[in-house]
């Protein structure tokens, strides 16, 4: 059987831009894993010192920071595993790959932070009711060491924390510890100079409030992605306006925009267009996809095109010919 030569077959053009982006993403992923390993190693070392000095000096604020850091080690380990798995290629079962694991870990990080904040606050209230003496000088030395190490880690993780939710979870853990150590230092100074032992409990409550305030936005952002909300920086009406601005597009329907993982936004929509040949449809698709990526950073877009006859109504045609969802 002969193949028909009059059927239009679009040429396949190598996507060099996509290739460069993939290489950049792979390099970024490797750098992220390396940074998480450095953070994990330093925090394990600091944890051992904190626990030893905390039990020796009976400092609740130092033990509170140590408990927070112990949870950090588990959550950073989970973040490290998620970051490693996220580099695995997509499969026939996981067609988007494994990058959403990082969102699940970020949600777990935020939830654990809130639980730790509640535990620290409870222990601080108990300490108000039954104060215990605190050895201020060793606590001060360890807290100063912890502040120095965590300040270094904050600078290491800060750079990309705004575009990667998993890295942001690790960054918030480290930032909370850095500020917590600052509170412990103030409490140790007050105890040492004024012998007001309740300062330790006050510092613990401060640590608990700080941890909770940093964790709540992380939990909300993670839930928003998992529930497939439209990204907060994208206006759906503006996207619809860009799609409708093309002279060939008569109507936009079933427009959905969601985040797959940090920095990866997807879109699907049904478009009613004037009757076009195959080459014109391909050209229209490429043009609209380029506009979506340039204007809104939407790199994954699926556009279902429905051709209209002159007598067709756009809304009726979309209902009749696109009865399925994206």
Q: List, in sequence order, every beta strand (DSSP E) within 284-326.
A: 300-308
Per-residue pLDDT band for 197 (boundaries 50, 70, 90) equals confident
C-alpha to C-alpha distance for 221 and 204, rounded to whole angstroms: 27
Do residues 245 and 309 both lie within one domain?
yes
Coil, strand or helix: which one is 100? coil
CA terminus-to-terminus distance, the chain = 36
Do residues 209 and 267 both lie within one domain?
no
DSSP 207: H
The encoded tokens of residue 7 equal: 């059927």
* 265, 259 contact by CB (below 8 A): yes
The encoded tokens of residue 82 equal: 């998620």
Average pLDDT over residues 23-31: 64
Q: At which of 195, 226, 257 does a domain end?
A: 226
Coil, strand or helix: which one is 267? strand
Do residues 137 and 240 both lie within one domain?
no
Tens of pLDDT, residue by residue over 110-166, are 888 888 888 888 888 887 887 777 677 777 887 888 888 888 888 777 766 666 666
Residue 151, φ and ψ in degrees, nearest 5: -65, -40
Note the maximum CA span of the chain. 97
Alpha helices in 86-164 (DSSP H): 101-129, 136-158
Q: At which of 207, 226, 245 does a domain end?
A: 226
Average pLDDT over residues 7-11: 39
298: CATH: 3.30.70.1350
Do residues 131 and 271 both lie within one domain?
no
> Greater confidence, 324 or 121?
121
- Residue 61's domain spans which residues? 17-226
* 105, 169 contact by CB (below 8 A): yes
> Greater confidence, 247 or 158?
247
C-alpha to C-alpha distance for 145 and 123, rounded to whole angstroms: 24
Coil, strand or helix: which one is 98? coil
């Amino acid at each position: 059987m002969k193949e028909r030569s009059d059927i239009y077959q679009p040429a396949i053009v190598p996507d060099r831009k996509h290739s460069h982006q993939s290489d950049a993403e792979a390099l970024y992923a490797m750098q992220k894993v390396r940074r998480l390993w450095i953070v994990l190693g330093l925090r394990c070392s600091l944890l051992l010192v904190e626990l030893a000095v905390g039990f020796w000096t009976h400092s609740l604020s130092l033990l509170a920071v140590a408990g927070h850091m112990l949870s950090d080690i588990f959550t950073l380990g989970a973040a490290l595993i998620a970051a490693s798995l996220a580099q695995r290629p997509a499969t026939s079962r996981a067609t988007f790959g494994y990058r959403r694991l990082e969102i699940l870990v970020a949600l777990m990080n935020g939830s654990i932070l809130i639980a730790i904040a509640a535990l620290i606050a409870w222990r601080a209230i108990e300490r108000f009711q039954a104060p215990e003496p605190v050895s201020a000088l060793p606590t001060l030395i360890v807290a100063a060491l912890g502040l120095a190490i965590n300040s270094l880690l904050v600078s290491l993780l800060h750079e990309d924390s705004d575009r990667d939710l998993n890295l942001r979870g690790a960054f918030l853990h480290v930032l909370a510890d850095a500020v917590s150590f600052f509170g412990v230092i103030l409490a140790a100074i007050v105890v040492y100079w004024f012998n007001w032992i309740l300062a330790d409990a006050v510092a613990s409550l401060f640590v608990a409030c700080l941890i909770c305030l940093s964790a709540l936005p992380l939990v909300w952002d993670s839930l928003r992605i998992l529930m497939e909300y439209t990204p907060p920086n994208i206006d759906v009406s503006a996207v619809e306006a860009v799609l409708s601005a093309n002279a060939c597009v008569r109507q936009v329907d079933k427009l959905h925009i969601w985040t797959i993982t940090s920095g990866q936004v997807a879109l699907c929509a049904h478009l009613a267009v004037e009757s076009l040949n195959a080459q014109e449809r391909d050209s229209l698709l490429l043009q609209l996809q380029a506009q979506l990526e340039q204007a809104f950073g939407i790199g994954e877009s699926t556009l279902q095109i429905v051709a209209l006859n002159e007598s067709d109504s756009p809304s009726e045609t979309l209902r009749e010919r696109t009865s399925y969802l994206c």
